[in-house]
Amino acid sequence: MKILVIGSGGREHALCWKLAQSPGVEVYACPGNPGMAREGTCVPGEPLDAALRVGADLTVVGPEVPLVAGVVDAFRARGLRIVGPNAEAARLEGSKIFAKDFLMQSGIPTAAYAVVEDASQARMALGRFGFPVVLKADGLAAGKGVVVAHNAAEAEAALGTLKGRLVIEEFLTGEEVSFIALCDGRDALPLAATQDHKTVFDGDRGPNTGGMGAYCDAGILSESDTRMVMDRVIYPTVEAMKFSGFLYAGLMMTADGPKVLEFNVRLGDPETQPLMHRMESDFVPALMAASEGKLAGQKLAWRAGPSVCVVMASAGYPGAYETGKEIRGVQMAEAKGATVFQAGTRTAHGRLETSGGRVLGVTASGADLPAAIAAAYEGVKHIEFEGMHYRRDIGGRGMGR
Ligand code: AMP
Ligand code: GLY
């Protein structure tokens, strides 16, 4: 069976790595990266052309941009199997305002909010919320369209950078959890809960990034909390939107129960790296079932021990950064037991080089959290590229929250 993964980042490398372990599966990636080239075949060009060319039996979409642009609709129109939401359902991620209005109308718990058209309306709304307050740009922003303002000066600065319509939102406190379910338009199968470390510096300081690391551990969410999230958040959304694909609810576990901070309509990056590392089951039957609307009865098993992914980023990320730095030590890190998922890499000048902000996701599992953390950082220790930086506290629970 041929499976095509659309995308070129660490999430997609982790997916390819997992799928390549399934018996009888040939992995293709479009466009892929040097890490994915180790798991299968990279094919350039448009995803639909690539799927037709290689004769893909199933396609899995990584990033949000093609989903929002309607890649799933295009595949289905040709009768091709694909895991992902159609463009209409992808608006849950493509527009924060659409998502908030949907949550409110569906009675799904979320932070109180106001939608404002411009800075002057925003200033009026801010008076109602007090500080801290959260300001969110409406459209896709690669994880950078959200500002938590602690005072009027920070809110004013945010209004200078966030353009267009905004959501102004009540600040919630609690433990943040990434909750992802695989859905088939009717049924939903939860993946293990993960936590993502979003800010660039240790102790949850500095600006938000796409994610500087993540871990997956049975202790993140109890079984009863998992059921609560399925009943209050996932099932109502799947039913209302006939959602298929990966539904990712960014949750705040507040004293009043789970509240949705955001929806994504895809797997998380870097959450997918520890998820794939910890998943015990063959993932292919569940993916196939999801693409056919036959998810009922599917199960996924997870290893008892947790997994941890530490992101190694380019100097300057999440701001401007340079690329083309030689990456050394990937083999050594893997020889020491870590799995190195490649994100922003390319092969050039006969060597592996940086080509993005988030470069590598060094991932490992262990018997307990300290062991998994130690194994991931043991891998990190052997890797080197000019200007690299990474957080040293990945896997620490409730850090600074
Ligand atoms: P989002 O892209 O909406 O998930 O926001 C990015 C990050 O901002 C989240 O992961 C939270 O850490 C923080 N955040 C967003 N909304 C809120 C909120 N209402 N209260 C507190 N923190 C929030
Ligand atoms: N790590 C957060 C995201 O994928 O949106």
In whole angstroms, give the CA distance from residue 262 to residue 317.
Answer: 23
59: left (phi over 0), alpha (psi -120 to 50) or beta: beta
Query: Which ligand is closest to the CA of 210, given by its number?
Result: 2
Distance 55 CA to ligand 2 centre (A): 30
Do 136 and 49 belong together in one domain? no
User: What is each CA distance from 124 to 101, 129, 133, 376, in whole angstroms?
Assistant: 20, 10, 13, 47
- Indicate the Cα dihedral angle 19, 22, 28, 33, nearest 10°: 40
pLDDT given for residue 401 in this prediction = 34
Looking at the domain assignment, is residue 91 inside a domain? no
Sort residue 246 into left (φ over 0), alpha (ψ -120 to 50) or beta: beta
CATH classification at residue 197: 3.30.470.20
Q: Is the separation of the CB atoms in 71 and 78 below 8 Å?
A: no
Domain assignment of residue 208, yes or no: yes
Q: What number does the ligand 2 atom closest to the CA of 267 have? A: 4
Ligand 1 atom having least distance to the Cα of 198: 10
Residue 269 Cα to ligand 2 midpoint, Å, equals: 5
CATH of the domain at 45: 3.40.50.20
Which residue in 285, 196, 281 sits closest to 10, CA to CA?
Answer: 196
Check which CATH number belongs to the domain holding 374 and give it: 3.90.600.10
Q: Ligand 2: which of 191, 196, 208, 212 to mutate, most ligand atoms within 8 Å of CB?
A: 196
The answer as to whether 302 is a domain residue is no
Q: Whose alpha carbon is nearest atom 6 of ligand 1?
A: 146
Q: Is residue 387 part of a domain?
A: no
CA of 273 to the centre of ligand 2 (A): 11
pLDDT digits (tens, 9 = 90+) for 264-281: 999 999 999 999 999 999
- Indicate whether 337 pLDDT > 80: yes
Residue 235 CB contacts under 8 Å (≥ 6 apart), including other chains: 188
Q: How many A from CA of 328 to the centre of ligand 1?
A: 35
Q: Pick the residue with more confidence: 162 or 330?
A: 330
Q: Domain range spanning residue 345?
A: 307-380
- First-to-last C-alpha distance (Å) of the chain: 45
| 232 in a structural domain | yes
Q: Quick one: pLDDT band at residue 399, thresholds 50, 70, 90?
A: very low
* Spatial distance between the Cα atoms of 137 and 119, rounded to a whole number of angstroms: 12
In eight-state DSSP terms, residue 280 is -
Distance CA 121, CA 111 (A): 19
The answer for residues whose C-beta is within 8 angstroms of residue 332's C-beta and 6 or more apart is: 382, 383
- Residue after which a domain boundary falls, among 146, 170, 194: 170
Are 27 and 19 contacting, i.e. CB atoms less than 8 angstroms apart? yes
State the pLDDT at residue 397.
Answer: 65
β-strand partners of 50: none
What atom in ligand 1 is closest to the CA of residue 171?
20
Judged by its nearest atom, the ligand closest to the C-alpha of residue 212 is: 2
Question: What is the CB neighbour count within 10 angstroms for residue 309?
Answer: 36
Structure tokens, 273: 């790296």
Q: Is residue 398 part of a domain?
A: no
Q: Which of 149, 170, 191 is the last residue of a domain?
A: 170
Ligand nearest to the CA of 399: 1
- 73 and 132 in a single domain? The answer is no
252 in the same domain as 188: yes
Q: Are residues 344 and 371 in the same domain?
A: yes
Distance CA 312, CA 340 (A): 10
Which residues have CB under 6 Å of ligand 1? 111, 134, 136, 146, 148, 169-172, 176, 198, 208, 250, 261-262
Nearest protein CA to atom 3 of ligand 2, as residue: 268
In a domain, 388, yes or no: no
286 and 185, same structural domain? yes
Domain count, the chain: 4
What is the structure's pLDDT at 398? 47
Q: Which of 113, 129, 147, 148 has most ligand 1 atoms within 8 Å of its beta carbon, as the pocket-test mutant?
A: 148
Contact 106, 236 (CB under 8 A): yes
Query: What is the number of the ligand closest to the CA of 62?
Result: 2
204, 249: one domain: yes
For residue 6, the cross-strand partners are 30, 61
Say which residues have a Cβ less than 8 Å from residue 45's Cβ, sequence separation at least 6. Answer: 30, 31, 53
Joined together, the tokens standing for residue 89 give 């359902």
Q: What is the mean pLDDT of the chain?
A: 96
pLDDT > 70 in the chain, percent: 98
The answer to pTM > 0.75 is yes
Is residue 62 lining ligand 2, measured as CB closer than 6 Å?
Answer: no
Question: Is the residue at 391 inside a domain?
Answer: no
pLDDT band, very low/low/confident/very high, at 163 (cuts 50, 70, 90): confident
CATH of the domain at 150: 3.30.1490.20
Q: Identify whether residues 159 and 257 lie together within a single domain.
A: no
Distances (CA, A) of 90 to 174, 200, 326: 27, 27, 37
**pLDDT at position 389:** 98
Mean pLDDT, rounded, for 294-322: 97
User: Do 212 and 280 fall into the same domain?
Assistant: yes
